[in-house]
Structure 1
Amino acid sequence: MLKIGVDAMGGDFAPEAAVKGAVMALGAVDAESRIVLFGDRERIEAVLAAEGCPAERFDIVHTTEVIEMGDHPAKAFQAKADSSITVGFGHLAKGAVHGFASAGSTGAMMVGSMYAVKPIEGVIRPTISSAVPTVSGRPALLLDVGLNVDCRPEVLAQYGLIGAIYSEAVLGVERPRVALLNIGEEEAKGNAQTKAAHELMKADGRYDFVGNIEGSHLFSGKVADVIVCDGFVGNTALKMAEGFFRINRALGCADNPFWAAMNYENVGGTPVLGVNAPVVIGHGCSSPLAIKNMILTTERCVRADLSGKLRAAFGN
């Protein structure tokens, strides 16, 4: 039985949105998957009753505390030992759940990722990524999108390997093409960071490095399936794309598959890559639909044995 842990108390609209999203996910997860809700049992069961869903459809782990968005992440993770996030990571670390997802405090989720399940040996810095739509119809992977705003070239080179493994294992892209986001396609373009990273990625034979990619090709799907950059650049690019989505939706021009795939609700959450167990972080304002898709992303990461594949790659 595969168990997916969900922070029922995480997010701006918890527990209602989180529990409703979990109910929506029941019909979409595999029959052999079981959703485990961490949080206030009484409040969780009240939402389930309002939804007409028997509480027995879930495992519920009762917790009495919540890490709030304004709390100091590291201090709260330790001080609030009975919070839904801390208890959830405890279960993940000991294998009682196989993946954990939350739309709660991003900082606390990163603390749990780094100190409860820990980075994979050999990974310099874990990263967060985002699947972005392309006009070719299959998603591309952008990483980093905000975790590490300053990256050494060696870190960017590792992102190429991490992204290639995720793209193939979870997104189903065979032999994904990996590119480095830069100000030009020519090998000599860029700053000191990207020039050095280019040399390292070119020399790494473990993935199909296709060179530099310009921002104009990010969403074309013609050049690359995995786009590597530091978190400052990636977060800026992603938020610009989200802004264009909101503009198009406001203008009534977002009713097509490309823009639908740009909607964060359909993406669900951002996986933390490079740690020893699947961890997925959702938007704080997640709706039930976003929570549902966050759960499905977590399930895909678990079923693909993503962490195991990354451990094998870095072990070699």
Structure 2
Amino acid sequence: MKIALDAMGGDFAPQAAVAGALLAAEQLAGRATIVLIGQEDAVRPLLQAAGPAANVLEFVPASQVIDMGEHPAKAFQQKQDSSIAVGYKMLLAGEVDAFCSAGNTGAMLVGAMFTVKTVPGVMRPAIANFLPKLHNNVGILLDVGANAECKPEMLEQFGELGSLYAQHVLGIARPQVGLMNIGEEEGKGTPIIQEAHQRLKANPHIHFVGNIEGRDLFNDKADVIVCDGFTGNIILKMAESIYDAMDEKKIQDPFFDKFNYEAVGGSPILGINDNAIIGHGRSTPRAIGNMLMQGFNMADSGIVDQIKATFKS
């Protein structure tokens, strides 16, 4: 198995990318190879400086970089030899089994939809994020930023996508799916949320447990929480701020340590024809390493085949 990494993506690239790749390569020894994609004059010296440890890494040159502030669609179209574009081309060709990047989020989404494309039957891909649970479990929240506005049908599909991921990657036998709302009652929320509730309730492919309020994010009421990308992104950033505040106050707790983005590494794009993960822009080597491990687990689980089979039927 091969896991590709955009070596030019992130605020601390390529140094953090190379260091993170070395961390992941050590953990994945004998199971997978890390493939770095980036500008040769920037990455080669770092590999040489790492010495023999870097011999296990593969390198593919890409002459261009899509910067964080660039327009995603325009940059992806114009920079076909960028590290993101080359990564997706390798993914499409089957040369790698997963592609990870802490670079331009929009460009990663554009690349996913225009290169490997959306699974037939899926209206829009979703970005998922992990939710630590109080009793040492982990759940999943989606969408967290790909789709600011959603139709009821999209929210229903997010429930299916999240349920499949929870089952096949997180190992939850019968994931409980909840819909983020302003109240538990069935009639609460906007007309879109109310219709999404009815669709999720009637969907035979999932175990829907009803509406979920914000206070239920970290308990065991639901393993999969569905929301639009606008709401999900606010929740995600709020969770990150909790960790940052506690870190600043020198308060340490194993549960709240899980709110640290470094421990998660990245967010999978669900609903596309291959395995792609988006990392945090300020990813450290630890975050990069965990993102690559997540890419390996995603590819190893066969989750994309499960999604294809479900939506084909």
TM-score if structure 2 supplies the norm length? 0.97
Who is 1:59 aligned against?
Answer: 58
State how 1:16-165 maps to structure 2 within 5 Å. Answer: 16-29=15-28, 31-165=30-164
Who is 1:167 aligned against?
Answer: 166
Matched residue type, 2:87: G
Who is 1:262 aligned against?
Answer: 259
| Uncovered stretches (5+) of structure 2, i.e. residues with no partner | none
CA distance in 2, matches of 1:30, 1:113: 28
Residue identity over aligned pairs, in percent, reads 47
Deviations along 1:245-292, one digit per CA (max 9) or x if unpaired, are 111111122x22211111000010011000000010001110000000
1:49 CA drift (Å) = 2.8
Aligned-CA RMSD value:
1.1
Matched residue type, 1:271: P
Is the CA contact (8 Å cut-off) linking 2:242 and 2:259 kept in structure 1? no
CA distance in 2, matches of 1:252, 1:295: 29
2:211 counterpart SS class: strand
Is the CA contact (8 Å cut-off) linking 1:23 and 1:53 kept in structure 2? no
Deviations along 1:57-113, one digit per CA (max 9) or x if unpaired, are 111111111111122222221221211111111111111111100011111111110
1:31 counterpart SS class: coil
CA distance in 2, matches of 1:194, 1:107: 26
1:42 CA drift (Å) = 3.7
1:294 aligns with 2:294: no
Task: State the aligned residue count.
Answer: 313
CA distance in 1, matches of 2:254, 2:172: 19
CA distance in 2, matches of 1:290, 1:39: 18
Matched residue type, 1:207: I
1:30 CA drift (Å) = 5.3
2:99 counterpart SS class: strand
Matched residue type, 1:252: K
1:211 counterpart SS class: strand
CA distance in 2, matches of 1:149, 1:244: 23
Who is 1:303 aligned against?
Answer: 300
Who is 1:271 aligned against?
Answer: 268
| Uncovered stretches (5+) of structure 1, i.e. residues with no partner | none
- Which residue among 228, 231, 236 is the counterpart of 2:229? 231
TM-score if structure 1 supplies the norm length? 0.96
1:54 CA drift (Å) = 4.2
Is the CA contact (8 Å cut-off) linking 1:9 and 1:104 kept in structure 2? yes
Is the CA contact (8 Å cut-off) linking 2:22 and 2:53 kept in structure 1? no
1:31 CA drift (Å) = 1.5
Deviations along 1:195-249, one digit per CA (max 9) or x if unpaired, are 101100000011110111111111112x100000111111111111111111111
